[in-house]
Amino acid sequence: MSTDLYQEGLLALAGAAEGEGRLDDPDVTLTLDNPLCGDRVTLDLHCDQAGRIAALGHHVRGCVLCRAAANLLGQQAIGQDAASLDTLQRAIKGALRGRHAWPTDERWQDLTLFEPAAAHKSRHECVLLPFEAVVEALRQHGEGGATGT
Amino acid sequence: MSFDPHAARADFPLLRRDHEPALHYLDNAATAQVAAPVLEAIHAHETTSRANVLRGVHRLAEAATEAYGTARETVACHLNAVDPDEIVFTSGCTAALNLVAHAFGATLAPGDEVVISELEHHSNIVPWQMLRDRTGIGLRVIPVTEEGRLDLTLLPDIVGPRTRLIAVTHASNVTGALTEVGPIVDAARAVGARVLLDGAQQVPHARVDVQALGVDFYCFSGHKVFGPNGIGVLWARRELLADLPPFLGGGEMIRRVRLSETTWAPPPQRFEAGTPPIAQAVGLGAALRWLGRHDIDAVGRHLEALTQRLVEGLHTLGTERVRVLGPGSGHPRGPLVAFDVPGAHPHDIAQLLDGHGVAVRGGHHCAQPLMDAYDLAGTTRASLALYNDAADVDACLEALETALRKLL
């Protein structure tokens, strides 16, 4: 495992612009701030009848870690539902805190790029913010699909 | 008198230690390092005089009370206060501001106005918003100029007959701008209002004379003046304190308690509920005595030269690439420099600088309204203290150049 926080793979993911941009007429929109640094993630989602993500757009005002995490969601979150992403978000939080291993699901294999962040407690929220945002957006959608922040 | 930053640095155990890579501590606006005489004073107090203050008659209580009172006298002397009883110890600068918001705030009526500014730390915004929401006062805001100074040309439009207090920073923790206090005091006096200065970023670097400033409240924190955490100071005019109700209840702040009612102790005890931060006060006193041993004017010149070196160094990286916030030449600024690099996030810059041993702060610096005014999520801030030298500044600039090669 690389201990370099700013390894090439992470920088590439941060610049990948996967899912970057806003959606027209989203089913749900959510903006979440990181109170520690002021970073901000805005997510737009289209969802199918079963509550799975059909399309995801994001606008991130944040660091490399935050942008990379949002792009990973842009790549891989299509077809995921609230329960699976909530489980994933908890797993990432636990892995960052060293409580258990990183998820091994092939879909989320690029999460290994965030492993060096575990050693930097003040940066954990940078990784988590997009995942927390998508879980909260899906929760709000499940409660009636309200658009809000 | 001259000033030798290396002699000052030798008084800081953390800075004397070997670090790999070598440490260049430039996050002094957040917390400065603690001086050895402070640690020694706290250790001596806790191992020879630890007891509660004011109530006990045994010899340890007498010694603790004496030490606590001496600390208050030291602070009063440092600020050139008229009377040590004008010094209220709090848990920090934020607590001091909250104290004023509650105690002075209790004297305000709905429709009265408090004036703050866009330049403030959250600690001088949020307590006033909470007061507004509790009592129905109005909150007016002095905007900042493009250079990050208070736009005092707008004072006549903002300060009016309902203004009761102008509460602003003495030195910005983001732009470094020093507040021109005279016009603010004049504007306040014209309408019978009070003035509060948040001096958290000023006391560590400059002479502060509360009588000469002509203000009514002044506050600062211990951990930014080379002292311990958990201690702050509110200074206020004696007659003003005497007219204010307490904020927190219990402990030393009472004169007489009956089940039906309580009367208050005179200031400063009225505002120091519970057991106060005794050892921290002793440490703060030691810190201010240590600071007072130096020629503060020479310290100021040293910091001004380092700040100029830092600003010029940032400019050489390209003014298109690195945008320095804060006043340009001709306007006074404190020894800190915040900058924005479009395309490179301040957290990433600060993290990469840490890899070179350079400790700076990246983020909103608890000044989100100011960040909104600049339309930024945050900035990177290098903040200096008297023990910093040109090598610290140069290390910061070299590390920044390396970081930007990686990020841009």
Report how far residue B93's alpha carbon sits from residue B98's, in angstroms, rounded to the nearest whole number. 9
pLDDT digits (tens, 9 = 90+) for B84-93: 999 999 999 9
Please say if the pLDDT value at position A148 is more than 90. no
Q: With an 8 Å Cβ cutoff, are A64 and B407 in contact?
A: yes
Within chain B, which residue ranges are assigned CATH 3.90.1150.10? 5-30+295-407
Q: Strands of B336-340's sheet, edge to edge?
A: B323-324, B336-340, B379-383, B361-363
- CA-closest candidate to residue B11, choices B226, B246, B301: B226
Q: Does A125 touch chain B (CB under 8 A)?
A: no
> Which pLDDT belongs to residue B315?
96
Q: Strands of A28-33's sheet, edge to edge?
A: A28-33, A40-47, A53-61
pLDDT digits (tens, 9 = 90+) for A31-89: 999 888 788 999 999 999 999 999 999 999 999 999 999 999 999 999 999 999 999 99
Q: With an 8 Å Cβ cutoff, are B363 and A37 in contact?
A: yes
Set of chain B residues whose Cβ sits within 8 Å of the Cβ of A64: 345, 348, 407
Mean pLDDT value across residues B287-308: 96
> Which pLDDT belongs to residue A28?
96
pLDDT digits (tens, 9 = 90+) for B351-374: 999 999 999 999 999 999 999 999
CB-side exposure of A27: number of CA atoms within 13 Å?
A: 21
* Omega before B268 within 30 of 0, i.e. cis: yes
Given the structure tokens 């001259």, which residue do they identify?
B2
The pLDDT confidence band at residue A145, using thresholds 50, 70 and 90, is: low
In this structure, which amino acid lies at residue B287? A
B389 conformational bin, left if phi > 0, alpha if psi -120 to 50, beta if neither: beta
Q: What is the mean pLDDT of chain B?
A: 96
Concatenate the DSSP letters of all residues of A2-40 into one string: ---TT-HHHHHHHTS-TTBSPPSS-SEEEEEE-TTT--E
Planar angle of CA A85, A90, A94, nearest 5 degrees: 145
In this structure, which amino acid lies at residue B147? E
In this structure, which amino acid lies at residue A61? R
Set of chain A residues whose Cβ sits within 8 Å of the Cβ of B371: 38
> Which pLDDT belongs to residue A132?
97
Q: What is the mean pLDDT of chain A?
A: 92
The CATH homologous superfamily of the domain defined by B5-30+295-407: Aspartate Aminotransferase, domain 1 (3.90.1150.10)
> Which pLDDT belongs to residue A144?
76
Report how far residue B48's alpha carbon sits from residue B279's, in angstroms, rounded to the nearest whole number. 11
Chain A: give the shortest CA distance to residue B170, in Å: 24
> Which pLDDT belongs to residue A1?
57
At B310, list the tokens: 């830092």
pLDDT digits (tens, 9 = 90+) for B107-164: 999 999 999 999 999 999 999 999 999 999 999 999 999 999 999 999 999 999 999 9
The pLDDT confidence band at residue B1, using thresholds 50, 70 and 90, is: low
B330 conformational bin, left if phi > 0, alpha if psi -120 to 50, beta if neither: left
Within chain B, which residue ranges are assigned CATH 3.40.640.10? 38-292
Please say if the pLDDT value at position B222 is more than 80. yes
| Strand pairing category for B217-221 and B232-236 | antiparallel
* B47 phi, psi to nearest 5 deg: -100, -5
Q: Does B122 touch chain A (CB under 8 A)?
A: no
Chain B: give the shortest CA distance to residue A133, in Å: 18
CB within 8 Å of A143: residues ≥ 6 apart: none
Chain A: give the shortest CA distance to residue B351, in Å: 9
Would you tell me how many other CB atoms lie within 10 Å of the CB of residue A27? 21
CB within 8 Å of A88: residues ≥ 6 apart: A80, A103, A108, A131
Cα dihedral sign, B37-B42-B47-B50: positive
At B270, list the tokens: 């009225």
Question: What is the CATH T-level fold of the domain A8-142, as seen in this structure?
Answer: Sufe protein. Chain: A (3.90.1010)
Among A6, A37, A64, select the one facing B378 at the smallest CB separation: A37
> Which pLDDT belongs to residue B328?
86
Active site residue B396: no
Complex prediction ipTM: 0.87
Report how far residue A110's alpha carbon sits from residue A117's, in angstroms, rounded to the nearest whole number. 13
pLDDT digits (tens, 9 = 90+) for B271-295: 999 999 999 999 999 999 999 999 9
Q: Does A62 touch chain B (CB under 8 A)?
A: yes
Report how far residue B235's alpha carbon sits from residue B300's, in angstroms, rounded to the nearest whole number. 23
Q: With an 8 Å Cβ cutoff, are A126 and B377 in contact?
A: no
Secondary-structure percent of chain B, ordered helix, strand, coil, rounded to 5: 45, 15, 40
pLDDT digits (tens, 9 = 90+) for B5-30: 999 999 999 999 999 999 999 999 99
Q: Strands of B194-198's sheet, edge to edge?
A: B87-90, B232-236, B217-221, B194-198, B163-169, B113-117, B138-142
| CATH 3.40.640.10 is right for the domain spanning B38-292 | yes
Quick one: closest CA in B to A65, which residue?
B348
Given the structure tokens 């289209």, which residue do they identify?
A46
Quick one: closest CA in A to B354, which residue?
A120
| Strand pairing category for B138-142 and B163-169 | unpaired
Mean pLDDT value across residues B290-302: 96
Please say if the pLDDT value at position A146 is more than 50. no
What ranges do the domains of chain A cover? 8-142
> Which pLDDT belongs to residue A69?
97
Q: Does an H or E element contain B96, and which?
A: helix B93-103
Q: With an 8 Å Cβ cutoff, are A38 and B347 in contact?
A: no
Please say if the pLDDT value at position B312 is more than 90. yes
- CA-closest candidate to residue B164, choices B137, B126, B132: B137
Report the C-alpha dihedral over residues B239, B244, B245, B251, rounded to 10 degrees.
-50
> Which pLDDT belongs to residue A37?
79
* B359 phi, psi to nearest 5 deg: -95, 110
Cα distance between the two ends of chain B: 46
Q: Does A118 touch chain B (CB under 8 A)?
A: no
Q: Determine the residue among A13, A33, A37, A41 to mutate to test chain B binding: the one whose Cβ has the most chain B Cβ atoms within 10 Å.
A: A37
> Which pLDDT belongs to residue B329?
80
Report how far residue B93's alpha carbon sits from residue B188's, in angstroms, rounded to the nearest whole number. 23
Among B348, B378, B406, select the one facing A38 at the smallest CB separation: B378
Among A6, A36, A126, select the one facing B352 at the smallest CB separation: A6
Report the percent of chain B where pLDDT is more than 70: 100
> Which pLDDT belongs to residue B2?
81
pLDDT digits (tens, 9 = 90+) for B40-68: 999 999 999 999 998 888 999 999 999 99
Report the C-alpha dihedral over residues B48, B50, B53, B59, rounded to 10 degrees.
-40
The DSSP call for residue A113 is G
Q: Does B366 touch chain A (CB under 8 A)?
A: no
DSSP SS3 for B308:
helix
Would you tell me how many other CB atoms lie within 10 Å of the CB of residue B374? 20
**Which spans in A8-123 are helix H?**
8-14, 64-76, 82-96
Q: With an 8 Å Cβ cutoff, are B352 and A63 in contact?
A: no
Among B352, B377, B406, select the one facing A38 at the smallest CB separation: B377
At B398, list the tokens: 């070299």
Chain A: give the shortest CA distance to residue B378, in Å: 7
Mean pLDDT value across residues B90-109: 98
> Which pLDDT belongs to residue B55?
83
Among B348, B363, B377, select the one facing A64 at the smallest CB separation: B348
